[in-house]
Amino acid sequence: MAVLRIIIQIIFILVSIALAAIVLMQEGKSAGLGAVSGAAETYWGKNKGRSMEGKLVKITKYLAVAFILLTVILNLNVF
């Protein structure tokens, strides 16, 4: 069981590093004055989910869920 715990800890460390890197790669969420004038409804605003920024947001969500699950698993003291 000690080997399984070490493997899970290594995965946890890799997920933590990846999560930090992905969060740092994302742009800020400040809308600026464009949101006041309605410029947020542009082509870029409508198709943001298909862009690289949208992919980074999705990856961040998955890594955050993995981080929480691994944290719970490591704290169960089953191993």
The pLDDT score that the predictor gives to residue 37 is: 54
Average pLDDT of the residues in 47-54: 74
Answer whether residue 30 is part of any domain.
Answer: no
Q: Within a domain: residue 10?
A: yes
Alpha helices in the chain (DSSP H): 2-25, 34-37, 43-46, 52-74
The pLDDT of residue 21 is above 90: yes
Q: Look at residue 62 and tell me if it is in a domain.
A: yes
Mean pLDDT for all residues in the chain: 83
Mean pLDDT across the stretch 59-69? 97
Tell me if 70 sits within 8 A of 12, measured CB to CB. Answer: yes
Number of domains in the chain: 1
Mean pLDDT of 4-19: 96
**Is 33 contained in some domain?**
no
Range of the domain at 67: 2-24+38-74
Q: Measure the CA–CA gap between 25 and 22, rounded to whole angstroms.
A: 5
pTM of the complete model: 0.73
